[in-house]
Amino acid sequence: MLTLTLVIVTALLLQTTVFGEMRLLGVRPELLFLVTVVFALLEGPNEGAVVGFICGMAQDFMLHEPKGITALTLTLVGYAVGMSRHLIVSSSPLVPTMVVAGATAAGIAFYETTAFLLGAFDEGIAGGAKIAALAALYCAVLTPIVYPLLRRVSTASRPRRVVRF
């Protein structure tokens, strides 16, 4: 739990400080989506949902956004990616990149739709599609850097099984 908390806090701080200023056509990377999807791919649906909820609540309370929408979105994204991980049979290194890009685009589209229904998003369909596509592209570019680090953290934090005869 300590390493997971450290990863989430680091991602949140990087997203709000360093990457908050580095925008690609007006869109910033969504590191918490990246962290949620990678942990869901590595650990499964339960862990993906828990990591998504924690990341979402952290982002909701750190930023001035409607509370709970990001938590709901990341919980659903983490659970869905975790449930679909057994369907991935390819060992290609591009698979995590494609999954992160697709899940980020779908998650941001869900977030924007929910925020629009609550009156908190007024970009329109074209603006929302642009944000979702560019954020997915940004996360896809960052995946080859972040995925190996999170895989190492994930495997190092698992309890060791001891077999006694």
Report pLDDT digits (tens) over 129-148: 888 898 899 989 888 988 88
pLDDT at 165 over 70: no
**2-155, what's its fold?**
Arp2/3 complex 21 kDa subunit ARPC3 (1.10.1760)
Domain locations in the chain as residue ranges: 2-155
pTM, to two decimals: 0.85
% of the chain beyond a pLDDT of 90 = 25
pLDDT at 113 over 80: yes
- DSSP one-letter string for 13-60: HHHHTHHHH--BTTB---HHHHHHHHHHHHH-HHHHHHHHHHHHHHHH
